[in-house]
Amino acid sequence: MLDLEAPLLQEVAPEQFGGQQQQDLFGEANEPIGPCGSAIDLFVRVLHQVKAGNAAAVHADRALLESCLRLARLPRGDFNGVVLCDLEDDRQSVELSPADVPRLEALIQDTPLPQAVRFTCLLDTISGSRQTVLLRAESGETMPARLGPSVDPEQLRTLWNERVLVTGTAHYRPSGSIQQIAVDSLHRAEPRDELFAHIPFPPSRQPVFRSLPHDQHSGVASFVGTWPGDESDAELIEALQAIR
């Protein structure tokens, strides 16, 4: 057995987890991670989500899932698996074995790669001490965004509850929903920016075309087996004979 220790989140990322109140790493109220938690707590939580077998409930991007995969591949020889356990709360224990490798590989394969995005939305929530904001799409869906060094925190106060144009990099979950947007720039949206009001879904999840229902009067069925001209059968036969 190995004892693992990790610094508290408020120590490694005070700009995001400083203070005494709980913070939610994913922007979701039902899964708070407190400043006194650690990266190991986050890692164990993601492993539980992976083991549950519901891709839509996995709150992790490709980088974190690849770390889980490396851990699952560790057991060799006489070792059947790796168990992470909390000595104070056995309910938090989780086991990974080579049997979990195919599931993790499938999740990683399904997780879209990060992509550059341009997105018009509402600046819903800001913090006076953290570099994380909450963006709200026209559909009402919210997503966390991490501000880059080029974004002026003072400017945010003038943009709160306003339509803004965000450019940056979107990181996705296996479900295709946005895990977080790393923001490069953020400023007040202009009318022309409404072109980018739709949530930036990854290209792999967007249909190439929108299919329509077909019947005998539409699509291919409307012309297969039908001569496209208005000649009679006799006129058509006469024309074919002339070609010979």
Q: Count the alpha carbons within 13 Å of 139 in the hemisphere toward its beta carbon.
A: 7
**pLDDT at site 57:** 84
19: nearest Cα among 128, 104, 147: 128
User: Mean pLDDT across the stretch 198-227?
Assistant: 68
**Phi, psi of 128, rounded to the nearest 5 degrees:** -80, -10
User: Mean pLDDT across the stretch 181-192?
Assistant: 94
Identify the residue with better confidence: 119 or 60. 119
Region label for 131, one of left (φ > 0), alpha (ψ between -120 and 50) or beta (otherwise): alpha
Question: Number of helices (H) and strands (E), helices first, in the chain?
Answer: 7, 7
* Token pair in block for residue 19: 């203070």
- pLDDT tens digits for 161-175? 999 999 999 999 888
Considering the segment(s) 115-205 as one domain, its CATH architecture is Beta Barrel (2.40)
Going from N- to C-terminal start, the domains of the chain cover 9-110, 115-205
Mean pLDDT of the chain: 80
User: Residue 207: pLDDT band by 50, 70, 90 thresholds?
Assistant: low
User: Residue 1: pLDDT band by 50, 70, 90 thresholds?
Assistant: low
Task: Count the Cβ atoms, other than its own, within 10 Å of residue 158.
Answer: 10
Tokens 């967007």 found at = 206
Lowest mean pLDDT among 48-52, 78-82, 89-93: 89-93
**pLDDT at site 193:** 94
Give the global pTM: 0.66
Contact indicator for 121, 136 with CB cutoff of 8 Å: yes
User: Mean pLDDT across the stretch 84-92?
Assistant: 68
62 by DSSP, 3-state: which? Answer: helix
User: Mean pLDDT across the stretch 82-101?
Assistant: 78
- pLDDT tens digits for 8-35? 777 877 766 665 444 444 445 445 566 6
* Token pair in block for residue 16: 């995001």
Q: Which residues, listed in sequence order, are joined to residue 163 by a DSSP beta bridge?
A: 122
* Token pair in block for residue 65: 């899932």
- Specify the DSSP element, H or E, that contains 95: strand 89-96
Q: What DSSP state is assigned to residue 102?
A: H
User: Mean pLDDT across the stretch 47-68?
Assistant: 86
**pLDDT at site 26:** 47
